[in-house]
Amino acid sequence: MDDIELPAAVIKRVKSEMADSIQDLLTKAADKVNQDLESCLGVHLLTPRPGAMPVIPAPFAIEEPTRPTQQTPGLMDRMLLRSAKIEREAESAEEQYRQDLANWQATRDAHELERTEIEKAFRLAAKGFSAQMERALDYVLSGIAWPKETQVAYEFSQDVTGVALDVDLPDEGDIPQRSAEARGNGKLTFKNRSDAQVRRDFVALCYGSLFRVVGEVFALLPAIQKILVSGYIQRNNPATGAVDDQYVLSVLVGRDQWDAIDFNRLDAIDPAATLIACGAVVKLDRSARFVEVTPMDMSVLN
């Protein structure tokens, strides 16, 4: 059947009567487009406050498999010689149930053991036990939902009162390059962000990522008094054509400096301003791109 084009008057009437619903759909669509950028620029907003309790895995929530209903062959089944088939199907279902139950029990036990071990690691890490500090930190860092791929490596100082963290930051091209807006005229419009704005957004993402890492460590490990955090990115080396790791940001943060932050107003905090106030080693060129720097040495933790 051929498509029938609706009269302009009908379209206008539908838009008028459903204006609110249409605007709501467009707003949701715009929010979905913009969420990626907002997650990048707000990466620091989930930073825990000092002393915040870490979250352990939730209790095992998968329901236990249900035993199949036993079906007993009746008189008609026996007369039609269906008894053997029914019994075989019942045995097969019972066997599958036993296998599912064993798998469920193994999964449940492993989950509950992990919960117990993680809770123990958090408890002992808070008391300064170095081995448990490592386990707790591994768990917390691996559980961060970064807006863009980010990797963190660390090394404790000899007296375990400081820690040096190396952060493999996202790529410069990971930043979203357009935004969306639901205008009141029933249209969804897209706007390309300028190259300069994208560069500034990337710088903000890097500062925010380091801010988040520092906050996670200070919240988790009360024994840590100093944190050296350095971030690096991958860039093409024009001299060799190879892609090199280039450090672009390095800062030493003391717990007293961190405790001065008002974590009730994280949305009013500029991570760049915070880290620069702590003496960050960083340099931007005229186009707001990071310039390679020499990161601080771990000796500053002593």
pLDDT, residue 9, reads 58
From the DSSP assignment, how many helices (H) and strands (E) are in the chain?
8, 7
What average pLDDT does range 204-209 have in this prediction? 98
Hey, where are the domains in the chain? Answer: 22-301
Q: Is 185 exposed, middle or buried (0-12, 13-18, 19+ CB in 10 A)?
A: exposed
| Beta-bridge partners for 165 | 154, 229
Half-sphere exposure (Cβ direction) of 26: Cα atoms closer than 13 Å? 18
DSSP 185: T
Indicate the range of 52-66, 179-193, 231-245 predicted with least confidence. 179-193
Which pLDDT band holds residue 184 (cuts at 50, 70, 90)? low
Predicted confidence (pLDDT) at residue 250 exceeds the cutoff of 90? yes
Q: Which of 109, 275, 132, 116 is nearest to 203 (CA)?
A: 275
Q: Are residues 73 and 86 in contact, defined by beta-carbon separation less than 8 angstroms? A: yes
Q: How far apart are CA 68 and CA 143, in angstroms?
A: 38
Please state, in angstroms and rounded to a whole number, the distance separating the CA atoms of residues 200 and 197: 5
Helix (H) or strand (E) holding 118, with range, is helix 83-126
Angstrom distance (rounded) from CA 188 to CA 258 = 42
Which pLDDT tens digit goes with each residue over 155-173? Answer: 999 999 999 999 999 998 9
Could you count the other beta carbons within 10 Å of the beta carbon of residue 19? 12
- Is 126 within 8 Å of 133 (Cβ atoms)? no
CA-only gyration radius of the chain, Å: 29
Q: Give the pLDDT confidence score for residue 21 in this predicted structure.
A: 61
Encoding tokens for residue 222? Answer: 């009360």
Distances (CA, A) of 266 to 208, 221, 276: 11, 21, 17
Q: What are phi and psi of 280, to 5 degrees?
A: -60, 140
Which residue do the tokens 């051929």 mark? 2
> pLDDT, tens digit, for every residue of 117-165?
999 999 999 999 999 999 999 999 999 999 999 999 999 999 999 999 9
In this predicted structure, the answer to whether residue 2 has a pLDDT above a threshold of 60 is no
pLDDT higher than threshold 70 for residue 237: yes
226-236 vs 162-168, strand pairing mode: parallel
Q: What is the pTM of this model?
A: 0.80
pLDDT number for residue 197: 92
Interior CA angle at 239 toward 236 and 240, to 5°? 70
| Side-by-side strand order, sheet with 151-156 | 151-156, 162-168, 226-236, 243-254, 281-282
Residues 179 and 8: beta-carbon distance below 8 Å: no
As a whole number of angstroms, the distance between CA 194 and CA 102 comes to: 57
Write down the mean pLDDT value for the chain. 86
Mean pLDDT of the region 81-87: 62
